Amino acid sequence: MDAMVQEAMKCEIAFQALTEAADRKNAEMLKDARTWLELEGVDGETLNIILGYIEVQFQGLSKARQQILGYMRERRQRATA
């Protein structure tokens, strides 16, 4: 395995680990946001709208990370071909 392929694999693994950590952190932040809004007395409908918006933003970030990861995998596959 040449150095370029090894480097691509290292980058892919590191990016995947960061992605998983970000997803866990986002889930924690969403839970914290729900708790805070409930403590502030935000009504149920407003709470769901706010949390829905936050969740959509997190999904957008997750989708972008998956696209980047796909690009990295494709690059590694081209390097091994």
The full 3-state SS of 36-51, as one line of letters, equals HHHHCCCCHHHHHHHH
Of 35, 58, 56, 59, nearest to 47 by C-alpha is 35
Q: What is the pLDDT of residue 26?
A: 82
So where are the chain's domains? 1-38
- How many of the other CB atoms lie within 10 Å of CB of 73? 15
Q: What is the pLDDT of residue 1?
A: 58
- pTM for the structure as a whole: 0.58
Could you read off the pLDDT of 25-65 as tens digits, one per residue?
888 888 898 898 888 888 888 888 888 888 888 888 878 88
Q: What is the pLDDT of residue 24?
A: 85
Stretch 54-80: mean pLDDT: 82
